[in-house]
Amino acid sequence: MKNLDLSLYLVTDKSDDVETFLKTIEEGIKGGVSVVQIREKTAETLDFYDLALKVKEITRKYNVPLIINDRVDVALAIDADGVHVGQTDLPCDVTRKLIGDDKILGVSASTIEEARKAEKDGADYIGTGAVFPTATKDDAPKITKKDLKDVVDSINIPVVAIGGITLDNAHELKDTGIAGLSVVSAIMSAENPKKASEELLNIFNS
């Protein structure tokens, strides 16, 4: 299995100010972000491609894996480190065939059945949530702390928790066995993304 540090997994939020967007990502990495996933649900392909190349410059500089959400074509075009797919995206086993064995493949799964299928079909890790109410993904299924723990216990690949995780509630996920915290607004909207990342990591590691 790939040696993945998923402890602080940043999912980006759309931004009209590219410079601020890139600076926020870099500051987050300086604070301890261990994986960056670009999520651009509404971007035109060329815009997504151009933005992904800019983010890749930063992630390569700090040797942090870059994951592309949903868009296998963009991931392959920029030679990203991996892809993350949801339950309504390309199937996990098809995605694995397209990207090969060396790339990282993450799958969103909110049930034990989905998680087990993803593991069988070649996923390297699972993203499970939403563990708290979230404004960034209205359609995300809500799961309990017990549901999260059950998913973790049902598979042999790592699980990151996602959905509404903040500095105020991250401590509630202790003892669930997760491999990391996946956050959007807690870093992307923070006044000081570096400090926010450091504090989230401290909560996770304490």
Which of 39, 56, 71, 117 is the catalytic position? 39
Residue 134's identity, in one-letter code, is: T
Active site residue 7: no
Say which of 137, 182, 194, 197 is annotated catalytic.
137
* Those residues with Cβ within 8 angstroms of residue 8's Cβ, 6 or more apart along the chain or in another chain: 32, 33, 34, 35, 180, 181, 183, 197, 200, 201, 204
In eight-state DSSP terms, residue 177 is: -
39 an active-site residue? Answer: yes
Sign of the C-alpha dihedral computed for residues 33, 37, 38 and 42 taken in this order: negative
Task: Tell me how crowded residue 129 is: count the other CB atoms within 10 A of its CB.
Answer: 24
Is 137 one of the annotated active-site residues of the chain? Answer: yes
**Tokens of residue 77, six digits:** 């075009």
Q: Which residue, 92, 137, 134, 128, is CA-closest to 108?
A: 128
Which residue among 56, 96, 103, 108 is the active-site one?
108
Q: Which residues are catalytic, by number?
A: 39, 108, 137
